[in-house]
C-alpha cells in the first residue's frame, strides 16, 4: 500500500490530541510520520521524534525550520501533508506557511482566531487547489454519517428544531495556573481566541448540526457566562439559533457541568420523525418515526447507509469509538490525496472530511456568538458567506 509522507506540528510530550491524530492516522495504514516540530523546545522535539522512530534530522523545535528543511528535500522525499495540533493561536501562521508551500494541511479546530485569517487561508487554497481538512472529528462516527443520510433521505420530513448539547465538567474548578497545560491555554485569550467553551466545544456542536442537518444558520441569540472566578473566557454558553427556512435550534455547551465527561448529544425534530445520537454511546442512533415503532439503528448493521458502512471497521456489536471516528477523517484525506496521485476518482463514501470551508464557518460562528452575547439586543445575523468565488469544492 502506498503511504503518504506526513509531518506534525505540536503534539509533543504530554499533549492531548496529537497522540490521537497519530493513532487515528495509524489505523488507516496509509500514513508514515516522517517529520515533526512536536514542541517549541528543540531537544524535546528531537527526543520525541526519536521515540517515535523518526530520523533525528527531521524533527525540529521550530516549525519554520521544519518547513525549510522539507522544502530543501527532493519532492519524492518531502512531506506531502502536515497535521497542526498546537494550541489555537499557532494554527494560522503554521497553516498559512504550509498551505502556501502547497503541502496538504489537516488542522485541528477552531481553525484560526479571526474570519480575516480564515479568508486568507481560503484565498491561498483557492489558488493552490491543495487539500485542507479541519478535524471536526465527531463527523467521522458511522452513526453520525447515518444520521446525516437519514436526514437527506427525507425520512424526518421537514426539520423544525435541532437541539445540540455538549457538557463537560473538567473546568468546574480553576485548573488553569495549576500545572494543567490544556486548561492554561484554553482559558487564555491570547492563545485560545475570543471564546472559551464556545470556541473549544461549541464549534464542534455547530459543525455537527451543519453536517447532519445541512441547515444554514441565519441568526444567533447567545448568553455566555464565566462561572469560575478569575477566568478570562466563557465556561458556559446557551444559544438560540434560527436557520434559513424557519427551523429553530438550541445549542448549549458547558465546561463547568460538574461530573460530566464528553456528554455531546444531538436531537433533530422533523415533521415526520426525529432522531437522537449521543457521543458517549456512539454505536447506535435512535429514530422516532411519526408513525410506527421507535427504531434503534446500530453501527455495522447491513441496513445502514453506504457511507456509514464504509466508516465501520468491525462487525456490529463490537464497539468502535473516538479514535476510529477520528481515523475515518484521516482515511477520507488519504483517499482524496491518493486518488489524485493515482489519477482516479476518489471513492465518495470514503473521501469525506470537514473542509477549510467548515473551519471558516466555525470561526464566523464563534465571532457571531460573542458579538451576540455582548450586544444589547442579542439576536445577531450569523449568515456565513464564502469569501472566495467560486466557493471551494466541498471535498478539498
Binding residues for ligand NAD (CB under 6 A): 9-12, 15-18, 37, 39-40, 63, 85-88, 90, 108-109, 135, 137, 181-182, 185, 200
Greatest alpha-carbon pair distance for the chain in Å reads 64
Q: What span, in angstroms and rounded, lies between the C-alpha atoms of 53 and 49?
A: 6
36 or 270, CB closer to ligand NAD? 36
Instruction: Report, in Å, the least distance between residue 192 CB and ligand NAD.
Output: 8
CA distance linking residue 106 with residue 59, whole number of Å: 18
The CB-of-55 to ligand NAD minimum distance in angstroms stands at: 18
CB of 218 to ligand NAD, least distance (A): 26
Smallest gap, in angstroms, from Cβ of residue 328 to ligand NAD? 13
Min dist CB 290 to ligand NAD, Å, is 34
DSSP 3-state of 140? helix
Q: Which is nearer to ligand NAD, 81 or 273 (CB)?
A: 81
Kindly tell me which of 329 and 351 has the beta carbon lying closer to ligand NAD.
Answer: 329
Parallel, antiparallel, or unpaired for β 4-10 and 31-37?
Answer: parallel
* Dihedral angle sign, alpha carbons of residues 97, 100, 106, 107: positive
Cβ distance to ligand NAD smaller for residue 200 or 357? 200
The residues, any chain, with a CB within 8 Å of residue 116's CB and separated by 6 or more, are none
Tell the smallest beta-carbon distance from residue 236 to ligand NAD (Å).
18
Q: How far apart are CA 89 and CA 184, in angstroms?
A: 13
Query: Cβ of residue 134: shortest distance to ligand NAD, in angstroms?
Result: 9
Q: Are the beta carbons of 200 and 192 closer than 8 angstroms? A: yes
Residue 47 or residue 286: which is nearer to ligand NAD going by CB?
47
The half-sphere exposure of 184 on its side-chain side, counting CA atoms within 13 A, is 7
Closest separation in Å from C-beta 393 to ligand NAD: 23
Q: Exposed, middle or buried: residue 27 (CB in 10 Å: 0-12, 13-18, 19+)?
A: middle
Q: Are 106 and 7 in contact (CB under 8 A)?
A: no
- Give CA–CA dist 218/384, Å, rounded: 8
By beta-carbon proximity to ligand NAD, the closer residue of 24 and 150 is 24
Beta strands 295-298 and 284-289, pairing class:
antiparallel
- Closest CB 96 distance from ligand NAD, rounded Å: 14
Min dist. Cβ of residue 62 to ligand NAD (A): 7
Q: Which is nearer to ligand NAD, 300 or 327 (CB)?
A: 327
Residue of 72, 65, 5, 71 lying closest to 40 (CA atoms): 65
Shorter beta-carbon distance to ligand NAD: residue 85 or 237: 85
Closest CA to 151 of 285, 258, 17, 21: 285
In whole angstroms, what separates CA 256 from the centre of its chain? Answer: 22
**Nearest to 30, CA basis, from 59, 58, 5, 52:** 5
Cβ nearer to ligand NAD, comparing 18 with 142:
18
Q: Return the number of the residue (16 or 227) whose C-beta is nearest ligand NAD.
A: 16
Amino acid at each position: 500500500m502506498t503511504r503518504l509522507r506526513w509531518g506534525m506540528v505540536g503534539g509533543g510530550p504530554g499533549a492531548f490530541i496529537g497522540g490521537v491524530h497519530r493513532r487515528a492516522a495509524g489505523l488507516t495504514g496509509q500514513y508514515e510520520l516522517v517529520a515533526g516540530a512536536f514542541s517549541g523546545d528543540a531537544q524535546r522535539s528531537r527526543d520525541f521524534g526519536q521515540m517515535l522512530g523518526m530520523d533525528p534530522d527531521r524533527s525540529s523545535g521550530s516549525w519554520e525550520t521544519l518547513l525549510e528543511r522539507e522544502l530543501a528535500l527532493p519532492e519524492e522525499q518531502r512531506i506531502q501533508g502536515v497535521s497542526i495540533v498546537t494550541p489555537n493561536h499557532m494554527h494560522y501562521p503554521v497553516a498559512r506557511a504550509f498551505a502556501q508551500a502547497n503541502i496538504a494541511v489537516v488542522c485541528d479546530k477552531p481553525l484560526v482566531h479571526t474570519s480575516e485569517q480564515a479568508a486568507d487561508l481560503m484565498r491561498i487554497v483557492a489558488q493552490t487547489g491543495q487539500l485542507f481538512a479541519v478535524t471536526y472529528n465527531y463527523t467521522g462516527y458511522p452513526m453520525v454519517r447515518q444520521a446525516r443520510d437519514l436526514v437527506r433521505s427525507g425520512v424526518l420530513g421537514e426539520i423544525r428544531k435541532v437541539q445540540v448539547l455538549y457538557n463537560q465538567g473538567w473546568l468546574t474548578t480553576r485548573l488553569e495556573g495549576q500545572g494543567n497545560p490544556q486548561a492554561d491555554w484554553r482559558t487564555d485569550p491570547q492563545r485560545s481566541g475570543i471564546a472559551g467553551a464556545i470556541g473549544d466545544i461549541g464549534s464542534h456542536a455547530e459543525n455537527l448540526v451543519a453536517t447532519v442537518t445541512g441547515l444554514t444558520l441565519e441568526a444567533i441569540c447567545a448568553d455566555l457566562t464565566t462561572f469560575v472566578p478569575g477566568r478570562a473566557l466563557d465556561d458556559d454558553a446557551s444559544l438560540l439559533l434560527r436557520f434559513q427556512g424557519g427551523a429553530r435550534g438550541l445549542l448549549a455547551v458547558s465546561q463547568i457541568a460538574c461530573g460530566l465527561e464528553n456528554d455531546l448529544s444531538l436531537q433533530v425534530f422533523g415533521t415526520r420523525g426525529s432522531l437522537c445520537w449521543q457521543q458517549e454511546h456512539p454505536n447506535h442512533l435512535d429514530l422516532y418515526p411519526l408513525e410506527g415503532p421507535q427504531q434503534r439503528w446500530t453501527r455495522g448493521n447491513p441496513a445502514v447507509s453506504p457511507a456509514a458502512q464504509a466508516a465501520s471497521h468491525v462487525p456490529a456489536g463490537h464497539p468502535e469509538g473516538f479514535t476510529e471516528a477520528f481515523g475515518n477523517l484521516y482515511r477520507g484525506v488519504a483517499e482524496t490525496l491518493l486518488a489524485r496521485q493515482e489519477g482516479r476518482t476518489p471513492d465518495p463514501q470514503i473521501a469525506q472530511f470537514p473542509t477549510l470551508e467548515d473551519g471558516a464557518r466555525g470561526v464566523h460562528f464563534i465571532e457571531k456568538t460573542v458579538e451576540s452575547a455582548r450586544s444589547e439586543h442579542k439576536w445577531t445575523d450569523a449568515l456565513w458567506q464564502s469569501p472566495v468565488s467560486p466557493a471551494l469544492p466541498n471535498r478539498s
